[in-house]
A = this chain, B = another copy of it.
Amino acid sequence: METYLSLVVKRSYPDLIIYAGEVTLGEKVRNKKDSKKRKLEKTRITQAACALLNSGGGVIVIQMANQSEQPERMGQDLETSLRNLIPSLDLQAFFETKQQEDKFYIFVKSWSSSPEDDSTKPRICSLGTSLYCRSLTSKVAMDSRDAFYFLKKKKAYIKCSPTDDRAPPAKIPRTMSQKSLESNPAFEIFQSKKLEYGQRLLFSESTSIEFKQFDTENAQKYMKDIIPEYISAFANTQGGYLFIGVDDKSIILGCPKDNVDPDSLKIVANEAISKLPVFHFCSSKDKNKVSYETRVIDVFQEGNLYSYLCVIKVEPFCCAVFSEAPISWMVDKEKGVYTLNTEEWVRMMVDVGPEAASNDLSRDFECQLSLSDSPPHCRPVYSKKGLEHKVDLQQHLFQVSPDCLKYTPESLWSELCSQHERLEDLVNQQIRSFSCGLLILSRSWAVDLNLEEKQEVICDALLIAQNSPPILYTILGEQDEQGQDYCTRTAFTLKQKLVNTGGYTGRVCVMTKVLCLSSQNNIETSGSSVSPIDYPSSYNLANIQEMQDLLQALVIVLLNFRSFLSDQLGCEILNLLTAQQYEILSKSLRKTRELFVHGLPGSGKTIIAMKIMEKIRNTFHCETDRILYICENQPLRDFIQ
């Protein structure tokens, strides 16, 4: 699709920034615009907004085509298309706009349903689901809430009847299963060899019967156009008959024989139906497609062949049939904005984690982050019962107290200060305007986040303070052109992980600042090539509660590891290190060249060893094959390979 080309993902910001190009804004001005152009603009904004909602949040930057000194509303059509993306009316919880000179910014928060919703909302936003169903005598498009219910129900039914995967599952409500397609009055007509032009059928449209008239201009194109949605609707409901060539008074007209050849009608139908994307929750081995039969029946007038009636009999489908791929986007700094395929989309929609599935899990583990109310990319996080909770871990590692700004870990701070004379002044000067919060120091925040270290960096410091957004300071010895890049990359990864791993659902962007010990006046180097985005005050941490929420997300980011249960449960879940394990891991590798980890069996030595090797690789920039690992441990070896 060409429209993609106009969405540019900017790399030089510590956030996902999508440049959506020139757009005319304002109610009246937009209404005057050529409708085609207006629609293209709307598509760009919608794609960008959908992608950001599904990918951790970010900013859409719009170049205002109509430069106006006055603040503008976006325009009703744009707002409506944003409203269609989100299964909630509380749009202001996800979108915030700002106009500045000739730019218009839409700040987009990551999608997540609120905890009060009891996991009743889909996990991702979509512009369209491409799922249809029959509702009385009509075909109706499911919106994303409808689709979410539909998919959840299908998934639940499949679980109830694991024995015979091919047949529609047993626990389907009576109205759905009872009436077989053979007992339907339409079956007789479906089986007939010839019919009479103008004959009136003895039944009308119903949930399982639809009449369409041929568009005689181009019968084949008409078939191709209407088939996907009707077949999806019948297959997703209770099956049925699509009559093409009957008017809505039940009178047989058919398609005049001169306009079309009966074989090609069949081919068109078969082609169109075979293209429909399907998704199986059942373990249907051959991934069977929609089961249907097409009949083209001769229609006679006064004894002569006059036209053809096309009837498609569609069986109810075990799982879900789409008219085309669902319409939803994600964004990635590398890949840019991309569409989800059907498989990915369904998995994102209904993924509810192992909570419901596994009783064992809830007996032995405590849920630290559930999928139901966290952003779309999150994996569920559990910790062993009896071990520290993420709240305990945050209290232990990153405690915030009112009216107090603490540097942590203290040992690292004194070590760094003793090594670098000017550091203390430099940092204090930056921090002095903040009165409540934490400055979390690290030799390298990049390494902590599994990124490659930059040798020249003395340390990184993450400020989590009240009335400020999180700020990442990178402290260099000498001025360095790559310093800002490093800081931006680290801050961006941190922000993405806070949302997509840590499950933080507030508005968040990690600001960057590069400091340099050698230069007298520390002018921020950030502004060099990039014009900074002025985030609204809602991106500041407003109170201790919000700081704690963010720090708990940080705990998950820093202490998570892939649970060994993942394979067993067939879905990736995360566990948390204990505070003790984390402290061993965060010891300086440079200082401690030899490290022995003692512990009882099952106490987590392997996990620690694996985490440390990961860290070694990032700290010393080792190629994977340049490190010699000696180990007698199976999972460790598997991991390394």
Please give the residue numbers on chain A whose beta carbons come within 8 Å of chain B beta carbons, in ascending order: 26-28, 70-74, 76, 79, 82-83, 89-93, 95, 114, 116-120, 133-138, 140, 142, 145-146, 149, 152-153, 156, 173-175, 178, 200, 202-207, 238, 248-250, 506, 538, 542, 546
Contacts and interface: CB of A to CB of B under 8 A. Distances in A.
B546 A174 contact: yes
Contact of A92 (B70, B95, B134): B134
B89 A146 contact: yes
B138 A71 contact: no
A536 to B, nearest CB: 11
Contact of A89 (B114, B135, B249): B135
A72 B114 CA distance: 45
Number of copies: 2
Nearest to A27: B248
Contacts of A175: 92-93, 538
Contacts of A140: 83, 89
B116 A70 contact: no
Contacts of A70: 200, 204, 249-250
Given A72-B204, A137-B79, A204-B73, A173 B250 contact: no
A79 B204 CA distance: 15
B95 A136 contact: yes
Contact of A73 (B118, B119, B153, B205): B205
Q: Which of A70, A72, A89, A506 has the most CB atoms of chain B within a 10 A radius of its CB?
A: A89
Given A70-B249, A203-B71, A135 B546 contact: no
Given A28-B249, A79-B137, A248-B27, A207 B73 contact: no
Given A83-B136, A89-B140, A91-B136, 6 more contacts: A73-B137, A76-B138, A79-B137, A89-B135, A95-B136, A118-B118
A182 to B, nearest CB: 16
Given A92-B207, A538-B178, A156 B116 contact: yes
Given A116-B152, A119-B118, A174-B542, A142 B89 contact: yes
Nearest to A250: B70
B200 A135 contact: no
Q: Which of A92, A178, A203, A538 has the most CB atoms of chain B within a 10 A radius of its CB?
A: A92
Nearest to A203: B71
A316 to B, nearest CB: 13
A94 to B, nearest CB: 10
Contacts of A238: 92
Contacts of A133: 89-90
A241 to B, nearest CB: 15
A79 B203 contact: no
A72 to B, nearest CB: 6
Q: Which of A74, A79, A142, A175 has the most CB atoms of chain B within a 10 A radius of its CB?
A: A175
Contacts of A118: 118-120
Contacts of A116: 149, 152-153, 156
A156 B136 CA distance: 36
21 contacts: A70-B204, A71-B204, A73-B137, A73-B205, A82-B136, A83-B136, A89-B133, A89-B146, A91-B135, A91-B136, A92-B136, A93-B173, A114-B173, A116-B149, A116-B152, A116-B156, A118-B118, A118-B120, A120-B120, A178-B538, A178-B542
A85 to B, nearest CB: 12
Given A28-B248, A120-B118, A538-B178, A135 B204 contact: no
A138 B79 contact: yes
A71 B174 contact: no
A441 to B, nearest CB: 29
A362 B225 CA distance: 55
A143 to B, nearest CB: 9
A641 B287 CA distance: 69
Nearest to A95: B136
A248 B75 CA distance: 11
Contacts of A76: 138
B135 A90 contact: yes
A95 B136 CA distance: 8
A2 B91 CA distance: 40
Contacts of A119: 118
Contacts of A142: 89
Nearest to A248: B27
Contacts of A134: 92
7 smallest beta-carbon distances between A and B, as pairs = A120-B120, A71-B204, A91-B136, A89-B135, A92-B207, A91-B135, A79-B136
